[in-house]
Amino acid sequence: MTKTVSLTTDGRDVVIEGPIHSDRFPVEELGSRLAFYRELRDRKCERTKTAGEHAGHYAETVAGLERLIEEVGE
């Protein structure tokens, strides 16, 4: 799976694009959205207490958001 996380050309919005899920939000929400996607990535299956079935999908999004934060200096 390939996801891209980038800023719009005007630098005002963050865009997440992937084959299944896309998202767009103001750059000011970058920190809170990173926290949200980390929660989804780290969520455990209640029955088995292991990583949820979609953890891998969110890991790629989290990595992209972390890279973007480093680039913009948030």
| Structure confidence by residue, pLDDT tens digits, 17-60 | 998 889 999 999 999 999 999 999 988 877 887 777 778 888 99
At residue 66, does pLDDT exceed 60? yes
pTM for this model (two decimals):
0.84
Can you give the chain as a three-state secondary structure string? CCCEEEECCCCCEEEEECCCCEEEEEHHHHHHHHHHHHHHHHCECCCCCCECCCHHHHHHHHHHHHHHHHHHCC
Q: Which pLDDT belongs to residue 1?
A: 59
**Rg of the chain's alpha carbons, rounded to an integer?**
13
Domain parsing of the chain, residue ranges: 4-72
- pLDDT tens, residue by residue, 4-19: 999 999 999 999 999 8
Measured CA to CA, the distance from residue 15 to residue 3 in angstroms comes to: 10
